Structure 1
Amino acid sequence: MIKNHQKNQDEVNSDEAVFESFFSDVLRKMPATTAKIMQQTFNESRVKAEKIVFNSRHQVERRFSEFLDGVDNQTKTKCHQIIHAAALTAAIVGCSPIPFSDAFLLVPIQLTMMSRLHKLFGQSWSASVGKSLSKELVVVGLGRGAVGNIIKFIPAVGTVTGAAINASVAVSITEALGWTTVKMLNDGEDLFEQVMSFRGQFNILFKAMHNLK
């Protein structure tokens, strides 16, 4: 019992270390004013974000665990940690009180996630192509995400309702992008050379995410 408790605590500590590293890396890529606001509202935003991510994390990970067939346990764990850190960061951005922040702020989160996944699989990374691709994929979620941003501007209604919509969309986009990247890397596909395949697989996964939630 003690050993199991220690193992669980070690996993929590490891997850937190990956998240802190990921979040710090993303903050450095954000505009200074935005980064400052995110830091000031971090605790409150994280509480809301964790509830959103918790509702989907294990269900999503079980659904797409087959994408890691043939991968060693250490790499599997790191994949889960990287995608979870990205999803949580995306949810925190989605819970941000900054109107119209989440759409373009997802891009540095996604680039950081994709870069780390490529490095994990020993593959080269093209930041410029990745930026163009991730910007394009963000558009998939803008239909619903924009609704939340508009609500943020309405006095009295406040940011809570809007943030909830945006955070959910942000998490879905980020998780779908992460697992699509993992699948193609594990299958030995170059997502930059096979962009059409990447887009198609992303769209399928993005829809699957919504069916799970």
Structure 2
Amino acid sequence: MKKFFKKEPTETKKSFFKRAGQSPKQKEKQTLRINDNEEKEFDSFFAEVIKSFPEKTSSIILNSYGKSKERAEKVLAKSKTQFDGIFDEFLQGVDAKTRKKCHKIVHAASLTAAIIGCSPIPFSDAILLVPVQLTMMARLHKLFGQSWSESMGKSLGKEIVVVGLGKSAVGNIIKLIPAVGTVTGAAINATVASTITETLGWVTVKMLNDGEDIFEQTMTFKGQFQTLFKAVQRSGKKSK
């Protein structure tokens, strides 16, 4: 009997991978490739965004990059458990393959935004989020084969950022307190920055997937953003 129970899981596992057309090693390699692709997307995204900042700002962000990224990744991990269900529900009608392609871009943008949120620059977040969001939206438009207007995107991006200014300002004020406030303030801002960015990203994906023009239907875009962002905020409050 012992021999039977030892053997059965192995055979089941083998048959599963056989049906899937992949061995366990192939599955592992595929996972590594996915992670590697996401990392490459992030590196490319972050480099593009950082070039758009003034040299002094870029230097501060890069000097604190290691610690900021570590904190930012923790923020995103927590947000994932809280908000993925809401985003999944919102994205009904967007097929899995499209979501997967878009996820790399949205994740890269959210992580970049969170890193900026963790940066020791008081009152930086709202201003610096705009280039992050413009880069994200431009890449998503390119992915869908749609034209992109940077000037109109910049105007829209600034309006969207205002939605998160209330909470973000709280974090920035805490940052002004020497030594004690930086980490606490960073945590607040990283959450706000990444949540605004991810929400904006998925609204962009949904509208592009539905064949809607963001610039011709700005009211729809803003309305969808506010609805989704409020749902995310409510979920965040419930989980506390």
Match of 2:73 in 1: 50
CA contact (8 A) 2:172 2:185 kept: yes
Question: Highest CA radius of gyration, 1 or 2?
Answer: 2
RMSD: 1.5
**Which of 140, 143, 150 pairs up with 1:127?**
150
Q: Which residue of 1 aligns with 2:117?
A: 94
Deviations 1:102-130 (A, max 9, x none): 11000000000000000000100010010
Query: Normalised by the size of structure 1, how large is the TM-score?
Result: 0.94
**What's the counterpart of residue 185 of structure 1?**
208
Tell me if the contact between 1:38 and 1:96 (Cα under 8 Å) persists in the aligned partners. Answer: yes
- Equivalent positions of 1:23-172 (< 5 A) are 23-57=46-80, 60-65=83-88, 67=91, 69=93, 71=95, 73=97, 75-172=98-195
Task: Give the partner amino acid of 1:20.
Answer: D
Q: 1:58 to 1:76 in 2, by over 3 A?
A: farther
* Cα deviation code 1:3-59 (max 9, x no counterpart): 222121111101101000000010111111111111111111000000001112365
Question: Structure 2 stretches of 5 or more lacking a match?
Answer: 1-23
Structure 1 unaligned residues grouped into runs of 5+: none
Q: Tell me the secondary structure at the aligned position of residue 164 of structure 2.
A: helix
Q: Which amino acid aligns with 1:45?
A: S
Aligned partners of 2:52, 2:92: CA distance in 1, in Å?
Answer: 29
Aligned partner of residue 181 in structure 2, secondary structure:
coil
Out of 9, 25, 45, the position equivalent to 1:2 is 25
Q: CA separation of 1:142/1:9 partners in 2, compared to 1, >3 Å: closer, same or farther?
A: same
Judge conservation of contact 2:94–2:206 (CA < 8 Å) in 1: no
Q: When the two structures are superposed, what TM-score results if normalisation uses the length of structure 2?
A: 0.84
Aligned length: 212
Q: Is the 8 A contact 2:86 2:231 kept in 1?
A: no
Equivalent AA in structure 1 for residue 140 of structure 2: L
Question: Which position in structure 2 is the counterpart of 1:12?
Answer: 35
Runs of 4+ residues over 3 Å off in structure 1: 58-63
Sequence identity percentage? 58
Separation in structure 2 between the aligned mates of residue 26 and residue 71 of structure 1, nearest angstrom: 29
